[in-house]
Amino acid sequence: MDKTAFLSQAEQHCLRLGNRLTALRRQVLELVLGYPGVVKAYQVLADLQKERGVAAPPTVYRALDFLVENGLLHRVEALNGFIVCEHFDCPHEGLILVCARCGGVTELDATGPMAALRDASAAAGFAVAPQNLVLTGTCQSCQA
């Protein structure tokens, strides 16, 4: 999907959820889209400052939080970063693989393994909520 189409669909997606993809939020999403993999909040902030002149942390954090809440981004806790979700329109439990060396990201279907995790947790009385799984490691091209 090309960038323009993605942004357009993202806007529709937000509307369906009853939220607005404002100019600022759209700009932030566009900046994140400019990276192949994981982006950090302060990186986006720096980019935003180049385009707008001024911007403070809360500006970018609020936009990023909005995008995460609306399913357009995933937060990668282990790396203090964010990645674009390529298929925000279909509800999914993705397996997100993040390369620790190049920052590249791959999403796999993890239905089977997730079910196994859910079963193991249920046996301990714990109800696992729907969520994405983020694993770090090394991608194919970074394996020496």
Residues that bind DNA (CB under 7 A): 19-20, 22-25, 40-43, 52, 54-59, 61-63, 65-66, 80
d(CA 126, CA 128): 6
**Residue in 12, 19, 22, 106 binding a copy of itself, rule: CB under 8 A:** 106
Compute, in degrees rounded to 10, the torsion defined by CA atoms 58, 62, 68, 71: -160
Per DSSP, 75 falls in state E
d(CA 21, CA 40): 20
Binding partner of 135, given DNA, Zn ion, a copy of itself, none, CB within 5-8 angstroms per partner class: a copy of itself
* Contact code string over 73-92 relative to a copy of itself, x by CB under 8 A: ----xx--------------
Bind-site residues for Zn(2+):
99, 102, 139, 142
